[in-house]
Structure 1
Amino acid sequence: MTKPPTDLAEELRLQVKDRKSYLGVIDRLNKASVEKHWEAYADIPWDDPDFVVDKNDPRWILPPVDRLGETEWYRSQPPEIQAQIGLWRVATAMKIGLQFENLLKRGLLNYAYRLPNGRPEFRYVYHETTEECHHGMMFQEFVNRTNLPIRGMPRALSVIAQVTPLIPLINTELFFVFVLGGEDPIDYVQRKSLKGGHIKHPLEETIMRIHIAEEARHISFARHYLRHRVPGMPRLRRRFLGLATPAILGVMARIMLSPPGPMVRHFRIPADVVREAYKSEAAQDEIRNSVGKIRELMTELGVVTPVNKRIWQAFGIWDKPGDRRAPKAA
């Protein structure tokens, strides 16, 4: 006898096979957003002495599991420099996260703008947008408290990214691939960090736990939206989706997981150390693993073909379905 789902996450992992079950998922997500949500300035004790952000705090030192943290160059630095580099990494991830979520919110609202009356997606999109607003506030508040010159996305990429909110007006399926391309890699890293006990500062841990809990709903909606919509797409649109998906994921995963250029220049990290940390086979495995769930989803939906699989391979993010490997030691 099949064991019934025990929580919302398990229930939403069931495949949506028809419109009725798809609408049921949206209804459960809407209820979950009402029953459990957080506010940036009500649920985080910013002024708690234990939550103070000190750039020399040893709790920011990168753990050996971090590719840079395990290099001999990093371990040879004074403890305060190690802490500052670790804090810079955390703050940059949050800055890029809030920039991505800014694009996402604008795209979601463009999607909702054209929804007919009575569509349950409208309510869900506004729940998600509200939650993303609070994520942006807590990320920016954290960045502000570091007093570091954090920039986030590279300037040229930030300019190009401004077209993203317009994608739902042309192709909503492609937009939700973009959503997963930004959310899945950071969710992968955050869950792995918490599970491994690598987060030492209580403020970072609090922000991360809030983010993971609410992003689980956002990721579920995007995945179930694609499951519901992609099978009915016209052939040419499916073909375009298949070609664009690996390019989006390849770029997004590297943005989320690569070292920020300003940090490398500020601390004068040698080029060979950057290559050792982020160009190694282990680092490439990490990038490949971070998009494993959406790669499996697109394979399940029949979007991956022998032709576009070469694009996945060219971006270094292809593995056989179900073959998400544990990263090898560098």
Structure 2
Amino acid sequence: MTATAVEFRQQIDPDGTLERLLESAATLSYDPDQEIDWDAPLDPTKYGLNPEWSTLYGTRLWDEMSEEQRIALTRHEVGSIMSTGIWFEMILQQMVLRDQYCGVYGGSEFQFALTEIADECRHSLMFAKTCSKMGVPHYKPKRHVRELARGLKTLAGGEIAYGGILVAEEILDVMQRDWLRGENVLHEVRTTSKIHVVEEARHMKFARHEIREHLKDASPLRRKASAAFIAGAAKFVVESMVSDEVYANVGLDRERAIAEAKANTHHHNLMRMSCVHLMDFLSEAGLLTPYAMRLYRSVHML
């Protein structure tokens, strides 16, 4: 690299964070089609996710279910989470592309942003293939959420865009770290979780970097407004992760299952645990306002 090129990189990435992310992407990335045999039969004894992460684990209904129903439920639940992930990754890609529109093409920020988009395309295809292999529907968020998200992906920029990205990825990260270690979890889910955890670690670091950069000179009013939008996005993502339809699709009483899932303190505690580091960062960034905290508490993230 010439001296002029080095100086240019240092100007736009003074601490080298983005350059290190690019180097990591070049040396530690996966091809799901090489890691997963999509034609191999599923192990009928394996869960879709660790049973402890099921929305019904610890409830009376869970105790009444057969082992076959529990396995089927966790496969539908992880399929719903993956489908929600695809939906949000499509939003993410549009927000990042818009943020980088006419960016500095030779800069590490622009180049890593496009690298992240390429990763997200592979992740979405990976999740879609996993859902198809498990034979579960491709669940979608409720219509009003999908329509509200059109506004988010069209208008959100700066710290709101990257904050929305961060909260969605942080929640999945903790879940998937457990799934990839679960010996009673499908090989396909463990492998997709490993790929996602490794590659999303870079994306989350990039999101934190961008949030800090965008908030450097932000006014208190802007921080409050951004905090509210990010918390609102988080609420919709969490509420959409496990579709209400999964329960009927595995032969459970839909209304009873929804009621017991909503009252499941075990699952609420897992959600709070998965968001500890996220809440620490949001607080440090000035994005954990009283109103935002109320929204996070409403979906047990705080």
- TM > 0.5 between the two? yes
The 3 A distance-change label for structure 1 pair 301 and 78 is closer
Shift of 1:281: 3.0
The answer as to whether partners of 2:282 and 2:288 remain within 8 angstroms in 1 is yes
Partner of residue 207, structure 1: 192
Tell whether 2:289 aligns with 1:284.
Answer: no
The 3 A distance-change label for structure 1 pair 309 and 71 is closer
The answer as to whether partners of 2:86 and 2:127 remain within 8 angstroms in 1 is yes
Q: Which amino acid aligns with 1:292?
A: V
Q: 1:264 aligns with which of 247, 259, 277?
A: 247
Partner of residue 102, structure 2: 114
RMSD: 2.6
Partner of residue 208, structure 2: 223
- Partner Cα distance (2:49, 2:253) in 1: 15
Partner of residue 58, structure 1: 45
Partner of residue 67, structure 2: 79
Shift of 1:64: 4.6
Partner of residue 5, structure 1: none
The answer as to whether partners of 1:250 and 1:316 remain within 8 angstroms in 2 is no
Q: 2:127 aligns with which of 136, 139, 144?
A: 139
Aligned residues: 289
Partner of residue 167, structure 1: 155
Tell whether 2:92 aligns with 1:104.
Answer: yes
Mean Cα displacement is larger for which, 267-276 or 137-146? 267-276
Partner of residue 68, structure 1: 56
- Partner Cα distance (1:137, 1:122) in 2: 23
The 3 A distance-change label for structure 1 pair 39 and 178 is same
Shift of 1:108: 1.3
The 3 A distance-change label for structure 1 pair 19 and 146 is closer
SS at match of 2:106: coil
- Partner Cα distance (1:248, 1:76) in 2: 35
Mean Cα displacement is larger for which, 305-314 or 116-125? 305-314
Q: Which runs of 4+ in 1 moved over 6 A?
A: none
- Partner Cα distance (2:223, 2:97) in 1: 24
The answer as to whether partners of 1:94 and 1:143 remain within 8 angstroms in 2 is yes
Q: 2:174 aligns with which of 188, 208, 228?
A: 188
Shift of 1:61: 6.8
The answer as to whether partners of 1:59 and 1:201 remain within 8 angstroms in 2 is yes
Q: Which amino acid aligns with 1:166?
A: T
Partner of residue 34, structure 1: 26
TM-score under structure 1 normalisation? 0.78
Shift of 1:117: 4.1
The 3 A distance-change label for structure 1 pair 117 and 73 is closer
Partner of residue 20, structure 1: 14
Amino-acid identity (%): 23
The answer as to whether partners of 2:48 and 2:77 remain within 8 angstroms in 1 is no
The answer as to whether partners of 1:75 and 1:82 remain within 8 angstroms in 2 is no
Shift of 1:174: 0.4
Shift of 1:255: 2.5
The 3 A distance-change label for structure 1 pair 61 and 252 is closer
Mean Cα displacement is larger for which, 287-296 or 268-277? 268-277
- Partner Cα distance (2:50, 2:63) in 1: 10
The answer as to whether partners of 1:128 and 1:218 remain within 8 angstroms in 2 is yes
Q: Which amino acid aligns with 1:20?
A: P
Higher relative contact order (CA 8 A, sep 6+): 2
The answer as to whether partners of 1:181 and 1:253 remain within 8 angstroms in 2 is no
The 3 A distance-change label for structure 1 pair 65 and 316 is closer
Instruction: Please list every run of 5 or more consecutive structure 1 residues that lacks an aligned counterpart in the other structure.
Output: 1-17, 319-330
Q: Which amino acid aligns with 2:142?
A: P
- Partner Cα distance (2:267, 2:90) in 1: 28
- Partner Cα distance (1:239, 1:148) in 2: 40
Partner of residue 322, structure 1: none
Shift of 1:127: 0.7
Shift of 1:97: 1.0
- Considering fraction of residues, name the structure with more helix: 2
Mean Cα displacement is larger for which, 88-97 or 126-135? 88-97
Partner of residue 13, structure 1: none
The answer as to whether partners of 2:80 and 2:243 remain within 8 angstroms in 1 is yes
Mean Cα displacement is larger for which, 178-187 or 149-158? 149-158
